[in-house]
């Protein structure tokens, strides 16, 4: 129970890595706010967690992380359910595979808004709780694409690189406040394959790379991953758990990248 007595908000908790993190944090004793643009998915995950633990620890709410007017009432509602927020996992994200010349300015802006502005707004919305209690953990979601770039992925890679810059800046700014700010940069995680097949509920990748089969994507990346295996959502959840724990109190401004050796 490494998060016993702690409160945590996980954004994008309705699917994939956010769902796995919420499930693990619940088992580790945290009380949870599950924020997602899909109320239905967030409620589904909250119901699963509460049923598994046989008590109500998870509360769902809907908001688009990039919209301050939606976020403010959603966070206020979660704060009413949970009390002051101790841990924030900025995980909500979208993906799109597209040639650079085909990316529209609307698509560019949406990618930056969801990832960078969303991380900025969510952090601003909860950090005063952390300042007041003198303890806090902010965990942002980058990607190996933000570390080394990605073909047909310029807007996504740019957003993820910006998140790394934001993470380090906030780590510096809050270093003496008991708040750590770190990023997790996942490599290729196997839920992406379900997304390619269009099976992942709520995934945004599906429509964009429908020309490529999941098996082609898997083989493409397996050749490049030294461990010759894709990650699992739980690999990322455990990285989140470490950074959220008391044991990680001396870790700040870092990028932890579970990626099977893909980027070193
Ligand atoms: N899966 C991977 O291989 C991988 C690799 C590197 C980084 N990542 C990052 O990890 C994070 C989670 O990815 P995933 O694979 O679990 O994706 P996913 O599509 O399975 O889940 C993302 C969740 O975020 C929600 N969401 C999307 N836009 C939102 C918004 N504007 N406001 C609130 N919620 C929103 C979706 O509804 C969904 O429930 C993303 O930031 C992604 O960029 C994933």
CA 231 / ligand 1 centre spacing (Å): 15
- Percent residues over pLDDT 90 in the chain: 85
Catalytic residue selected from 59, 135, 156, 221: 156
Is 260 close to ligand 1, i.e. is its CB under 6 Å away?
A: no
E strand spans, the chain: 7-11, 31-36, 58-62, 87-90, 136-141, 179-184, 255-256
For ligand 1, atom 32, which residue shows the shortest CA distance?
64
> What was the pLDDT predicted at 203?
47
pLDDT digits (tens, 9 = 90+) for 112-150: 999 999 999 999 999 999 999 999 999 999 999 999 998
DSSP letters, 192-243, are HHHHHTT-STT-SSGGGGTTS-HHHHHHHHHTT-TTSS-B-HHHHHHHHHHH
Range(s) for CATH 3.40.50.720 in the chain? 7-187+233-250
For ligand 1, atom 20, which residue shows the shortest CA distance?
16
Q: Over 50: is that where the pLDDT of 207 sits?
A: no
Are 33 and 18 in contact by the 8 Å Cβ rule? The answer is no
Which of the listed CATH numbers 3.40.50.720, 3.30.1490.390, 1.25.40.390, 1.10.10.10 matches domain 7-187+233-250? 3.40.50.720
- Is the whole-model pTM more than 0.75? yes
For ligand 1, atom 5, which residue shows the shortest CA distance?
186
| DSSP 3-state of 46 | helix
| DSSP 3-state of 216 | helix
**Quick one: pLDDT band at residue 71, thresholds 50, 70, 90?**
very high
Alpha carbon distance, N-terminus to C-terminus of the chain: 31
Rounded to 5 degrees, φ, ψ at 138 are -115, 125
> What was the pLDDT predicted at 152?
84
**pLDDT averaged over every residue in the chain:** 93
Task: Give catalytic status of residue 250 as yes or no.
Answer: no
Are 184 and 75 in contact by the 8 Å Cβ rule? The answer is no
**Quick one: pLDDT band at residue 213, thresholds 50, 70, 90?**
confident
Q: Over 60: is that where the pLDDT of 208 sits?
A: no
């Amino acid at each position: 129970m490494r998060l016993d007595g702690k409160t945590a908000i996980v954004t994008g908790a309705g699917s994939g890595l956010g769902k796995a993190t919420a499930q693990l944090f619940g088992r580790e004793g945290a009380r949870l706010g599950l924020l997602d643009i899909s109320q239905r998915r967030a409620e589904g995950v909250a119901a699963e967690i509460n049923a598994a633990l046989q008590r109500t620890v998870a509360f769902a709410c809907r908001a688009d992380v990039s919209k301050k007017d939606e976020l403010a009432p959603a966070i206020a509602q979660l704060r009413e359910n949970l009390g002051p927020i101790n841990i924030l996992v900025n995980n909500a994200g979208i993906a799109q595979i597209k040639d650079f010349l085909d990316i529209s300015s609307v698509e560019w802006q949406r990618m930056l808004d969801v990832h960078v502005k969303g991380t900025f707004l969510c952090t601003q919305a909860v950090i005063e709780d952390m300042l007041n209690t003198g303890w806090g953990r902010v965990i942002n979601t980058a990607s190996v694409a933000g570390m080394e770039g990605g073909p047909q992925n310029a807007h996504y890679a740019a957003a993820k690189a910006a998140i790394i810059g934001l993470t380090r800046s906030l780590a510096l700014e809050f270093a003496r406040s008991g708040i750590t700010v770190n990023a997790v940069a996942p490599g290729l995680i196997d839920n992406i394959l379900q997304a390619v097949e269009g099976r992942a509920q709520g995934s945004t990748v599906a429509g964009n790379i429908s020309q490529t089969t999941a098996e082609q994507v898997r083989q493409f990346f397996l050749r490049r991953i030294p461990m010759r295996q894709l990650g699992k959502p739980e690999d990322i959840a455990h990285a989140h758990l470490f950074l959220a724990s008391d044991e990680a109190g001396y870790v700040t401004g870092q990028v932890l990248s579970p990626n099977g050796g893909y980027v070193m």
